[in-house]
Structures are given as structure tokens and as C-alpha cells.
Amino acid sequence: MRRTIVAAITGATVLTASCIGICGAGEGQTDPAMRETLSRIRVAAINSDWAWRELARLTDEIGPRLSGSPGHAAAITQVADAMRALGARVTLQPAKVQHWVRGEERAELVRYPGRPDGLTQRLHLTALGGSSATPPSGLEAPVIVVRNFDELKAHAADVRGKIVLFDSHFDQHLADNGHAGEAYGQAGEYRFRGPSEAAALGAAAALVRSIGGADFRLPHTGLTRWKEHQSPIPAGALAAEDADMIVRLAAAGQVSMKLVLTPQTLPDADSANVIADWPGTDLPDEYIVVSGHLDSWDLGTGATDDGVGVIGAAGVIQVLQQLNLHARRTIRFIGWTNEENGSRGAKAYFDSVSAKLNAQCAAIESDDGAGRSLGIVAAVTKDSLPTLHPVADALSPLGATVIEPREGEVGADIEPLQTAGVPGFAPLVDSRHYFDYHHTAADTLDKVDRANFYSQIATMAVLAFYLADLPDCLPRVPVTR
């Protein structure tokens, strides 16, 4: 899941209004043959169980797929083999990826106000990707709680040698009201930048309150970033309950913690994007990219982040194969490597096509969880929006009629393409509960509702085919940044 803002519309809203934003009714009469074809694609997508079986293999048999791990390599093999079996033209595009390995992780409160003699309190936490290790026997230090960067700055003189806890909260109310991505972006700032800012002030370690649902003592991992030439410090995410307990105790006096984190950053590992082309009839050298990412965090089995995205995108090819349909342009599935902690796959692909960017007609990425599709997010020029109405028309039996215009990035892996002006798309997904499970051990197959998953595949398949069969590619999107 990318970090920037996603203003998703909730299912509840859509149930009461047929369409929000720009809608697909009426305008832009679709050619009847195309209408019929898109309808067949939608029906096939919601009735094929190929994707479910592949997702079960990816999550139950392989499981976690952090970059550089054996599971990651196995996932690349599985998906490449599956695409070859469909008859797609498969390429493995090499990329060196970061190889961070989680070690031991434990912590306990060793001193705090009111503590009875001899007692310690075990804490539930997980290391953040990119964390360095404590000494093997751990480090012990006082905790300093700050709610935001301003408070960090105000306490700058006190930070050296301490464990900084960023008591930043995920705004579930915002998420419940259709702005899950925005809520993630707000709290995510502290996970991405907090440890680095604390390290710059000499902190011994940095912790954040886990980002997301806060009810089940579940730590949420994710990447943290360091400044150039900065030495990483140990960095972790506490379960919300543990962070809250420390905040309560710290209100009464000094809290000290013992922290053991033993992750390792190994040399970069060989990896690859899986590229599978479903050739176009007239313009085979022009591409509509449809994609998700193959890697996942290591705590769960990455079913919702991003099993559904990568297998859903693969499912687009399966649907077209089943219907024996080829559009004018080539539809290119990409299973991205290394989205979670480096985006090296995105960079490798962009570098490989940057000399011929006009051949990249449009790019779709699915990476917003397993909720049902409400339509599409479209980062296109304003004038292009009416051209998309036939997509909404074709998806109306699924209720996925919203076309939500977006400025800027709609998927982390297609961001370099978008930045170069390529129109970008994503399914518009109901993400209200995505962050309950995001980057946790509980991101597992049972969190995927099959009908919702299929609605995303139908959305991408209809959109990809339609874009691939347009007389002309949509206009480039001027870069406003």
C-alpha cells in the first residue's frame, strides 16, 4: 500500500447515491460491440476461480514474501509459471533488492511509576523495516514520549540516549469515512520519518504507536527511512495497547524500557519483476500496464497487501485468455518486486522503458487492500474523464460506477511512470478496514472476501481492455509537482 493520500469512497455512501464524482451514465455512447465485450469480460472475471486458487497458493503455500526471502523468490516462480501456463509472453526483469531480515524482537518495561518490586511488563512490538539492531543483550534506556515533531523539537535537548516513543494515532474516524489512505498518510509520517528525526537528535532508539486498527495488541510493521549517510538506530512499532500503557504510566513519572531488536541488513539480493504480455493485435508495441506487487511484509502472508493486487492483475490476463480476447494494444501484467522496502522493481521497469515512454499508454496498479471495488481512480487530464464513461457503464452491475479523478500518484510502483506523464489508474477500493490488518501477522487469506476480490479483477479487466482498445492513448498528464 502506498503512503500518499487515497480519498476512497465508502461502500455505504455509494449504496445511497448511484455515483459520486464523475459518473458513467449516458454521455459518450459506447460502440455496441465494445459494450458487449466489456460485459463478457466483467461476467468472466466475477465467475472465474483461477485467481482465488492462485491467491491461496501464494498465501497458504508460500506465505510471507519480504524482498530477498525464499518466499519472495518462490512467489516470483509461482506467478511467472502461472502466466506462462496461460500462454502469456513472460519476462523476468532483474532488479537487485534490499534484503532486510527480522531477528529477535522483544521489549519490557523495567522501571515505571507504581511498579511493584520484581515486576516487569512485557511489551508487544515489532521492528520496522530498515531498523538497525540493539546489542544482542538489548539496550536499556528511559522513554521519552512525544506526540508530534513539534514536541520532539521542544524536547530536543532531552532526547540523547533515550528511547523516543512517537504517540501518534491512526485516525480511524477518517478511515471509516472514506479517507483511509489519508489517515495512513498522517500517522505514517511518524513511522517513515520519526526514527530518522530521533536519530538526528542522538536517540538510542525510536518507537511508534502502530498505524491502523488498535484493538488486538497487534504490532504493525512497515518501512522507516533514514537520511542520506545517517546511521540507522533500532526502530520499532509498539502495539497500540502497549504504547497507550506507556503513555499512561509516563504521565506519572519516568518509564524505562529494555529493548532487544536484532534485525540485519544483508547485501542486496537478486530479484525480478514478473512481466507477462498479452499481445495486442494492431499496436503490440504499445502497452497498458496492469499490476500489483509480489513482495509483502514478513509478519503475515500478505493476502491483502498485496496478494489480491498482484494476483488480481494476473487474473486480468487469465480472463482475457479464457475469452480468447486480444485488444489492439498489448496488455502487460507486471508483478512488481520490492514495493514495500525499496521500490527497486518500479525503478528497474521505469529505467527499461524511459527511452520509449510513449509506448507506455497507461498504467494500472492495485494496492489498496481486498475491499470491494467501487469504481476506478483516474489520474488523467480533465478532458479524458468522459472517455472513461463506458468503463463505468460496464461495471454498473457491480455497483462500481465511480470514476474518481486524482491528481498525483495512485500506486507506488507506477509513480515513476505517472511522474513522466503516463495516465495512472487504480481500482477504487473500500478501504475502511484495510488498516486493521495492514502490515500485521493477521494479513491472511481469510481476510479476503472472494466476491470483493473478483470485483477488483473485473474492474481492472474492463478498464485495461477498454484502454488497450481505444483508437488513441489518453493524453499525457502534465506533471504539476
- H or E, element range at 348: helix 344-353
* 31 vs 104 by CB, closer to its own copies: 104
Query: Helix %, strand %, coil % for the chain, to 5?
Result: 40, 25, 40
Are the C-beta atoms of 192 and 223 separated by less than 8 Å? yes
At 301, list the grid cell: 502472508
Assess 84 for contact with its own copies (CB under 8 A).
Answer: no
Minimal distance, residue 116 CB to its own copies, in Å: 4
Assess 56 for contact with its own copies (CB under 8 A).
Answer: yes
* 65 vs 332 by CB, closer to its own copies: 65
Assess 119 for contact with its own copies (CB under 8 A).
Answer: yes
In Å, what is the CA distance from 35 to each residue of 391, 393, 433?
Answer: 9, 8, 33
Minimal distance, residue 443 CB to its own copies, in Å: 9
Alpha carbon distance 180, 193 (integer Å): 20
* 158 vs 244 by CB, closer to its own copies: 244
Alpha carbon distance 400, 455 (integer Å): 8
Catalytic residue among 286, 339, 365, 409: 339
Alpha carbon distance 75, 59 (integer Å): 9
Question: Contact letters (x/-) for its own copies, 132-171, by CB under 8 A?
Answer: ----------------------------------------
Minimal distance, residue 143 CB to its own copies, in Å: 14
Assess 77 for contact with its own copies (CB under 8 A).
Answer: yes
The residue assigned the cell 538489548 is 138
Minimal distance, residue 461 CB to its own copies, in Å: 27
Looking at 29, 70, 104, 397, which residue binds its own copies (CB under 8 A)? 70
Assess 110 for contact with its own copies (CB under 8 A).
Answer: no
Minimal distance, residue 82 CB to its own copies, in Å: 13
Assess 442 for contact with its own copies (CB under 8 A).
Answer: yes
- Contacting range for its own copies; rule: CB under 8 A; set: 191-199, 261-269, 281-289, 445-453: 445-453
In 397-473, DSSP assigns E strands to 402-405, 424-429
- Measured from the Cβ of residue 93, the count of other Cβ atoms closer than 10 Å reads 17
Residue ranges in 290-309 that form contacts with its own copies under rule CB under 8 A = 300
The question of whether 339 is a catalytic residue gets the answer yes
Looking at 172, 196, 440, 459, which residue binds its own copies (CB under 8 A)? 440
Minimal distance, residue 102 CB to its own copies, in Å: 11
SS3 at position 421: coil
**Residue type at position 364:** I
Question: Contact letters (x/-) for its own copies, 226-265, by CB under 8 A?
Answer: --------------xx--xx--xx----------------
**Residue type at position 55:** L
* 132 vs 440 by CB, closer to its own copies: 440
**Residue type at position 319:** V
Minimal distance, residue 115 CB to its own copies, in Å: 6
* 220 vs 326 by CB, closer to its own copies: 220
Alpha helices in 48-168 (DSSP H): 50-56, 70-85, 149-154
At 170, list the grid cell: 491512526
In Å, what is the CA distance from 227 to each residue of 101, 155, 232, 427, 463?
Answer: 20, 21, 9, 33, 39
Minimal distance, residue 108 CB to its own copies, in Å: 10
Assess 381 for contact with its own copies (CB under 8 A).
Answer: no
- Name, in order, each residue with C-beta under 8 angstroms of 50's C-beta and a sequence gap of 6 or more: 315, 318, 322
Looking at 32, 116, 267, 478, which residue binds its own copies (CB under 8 A)? 116
**Residue type at position 93:** Q
- Name, in order, each residue with C-beta under 8 angstroms of 203's C-beta and a sequence gap of 6 or more: 159, 160, 161, 162, 163, 164, 195, 233
Catalytic positions, written as ranges = 339
Q: In the complex, which residues of this chain contact its own copies (CB under 8 A)? A: 56-57, 60-64, 70-71, 74, 77-78, 112-119, 121-122, 124, 214-218, 240-241, 244-245, 248-249, 300, 436-437, 440-442, 444-447
